Amino acid sequence: MTNTIEKLNENLEKQLLKASSVMNEMGRKRDLANTNTKKHTTERNKLNGEVKELIKNVKSFRAERENYNNLVREKKIIRKEMSEKLKSTKTIDWTSDNREENKLRILRLKSKKQILEDTLKAETFPLEDQIMAKDELDDIDKIIKRINKYGHLYEDAFRHQELAHNEVQEAATLAQKAHEDMLKINSKVDRKRQLAETAHRKLRTSKKEADSFHGQFILAANLKNNCKDMLRAIKNDGGEAVDNAA
């Protein structure tokens, strides 16, 4: 009987040591897994927060792009109106959008007019040529008057059309920049989301590991407590508990 109790006592001591070792190992692994879970959770939450902020920026740039696109449409309407006005004020071939060029044309016409007038005064033309020269003088006067009357209107229309065109280009450039900025941030959002998903998968894995290690820790703890109870019973009862159990 004594040998049986001693053998049982020895086995229980071994089981107790083994249970304690398993508890220490599982506790260490569980704590490490819990630490990793906290780290991955913090990382995931941080990345999700960054994604939310980036999405706000995306929405902001999208709204900015739409505003510039609307502005482009408005400026195109104005440009079209200015282009039509430019066409209506443009005269065949004797006006220019350049004020200085119009002045030079008037000077050339006046010079030609002066030559014709001087020639007519000298009466060197045949009568038929004189009539043609007078008609040409009348035409020159009409052209000069029309340039003076409509030239500045054409110049103003040209400037307004050019200004409207430049405004269209500027608004289009700003819309394109907002679009490109939005795409860049969208790329960042995608990258951050992928990192957040990776962190989430890691935390789920580490949480499962922690739960598994904790379960094994509890089993080892129960085994250890059972071994202690049995050893205590053997010691207190002098082996009676073992006999009664048998």
pLDDT in tens, 11-32: 888 999 999 999 999 999 999 9
User: What top-level class would CATH report for the domain 2-245?
Assistant: mainly alpha
In degrees and rounded to multiples of 5, residue 187 shows phi and psi of -65, -40
Long-range pairs for 170-176: beta carbons < 8 A, 24 or more residues apart: 171/68, 171/71, 171/72, 171/75, 172/68, 172/72, 174/68, 175/65, 175/68, 175/69, 175/71, 175/72
Q: Are 97 and 154 in contact (CB under 8 A)?
A: yes
What is the average per-residue pLDDT within 126-131?
65
Question: Could you tell me the pLDDT band of residue 246, with boundaries at 50, 70 and 90?
Answer: very low
Q: Which two tokens stand for residue 191?
A: 């990258």
Residue 238: strand, helix, or coil: coil
pLDDT in tens, 197-216: 999 999 999 999 999 999 99
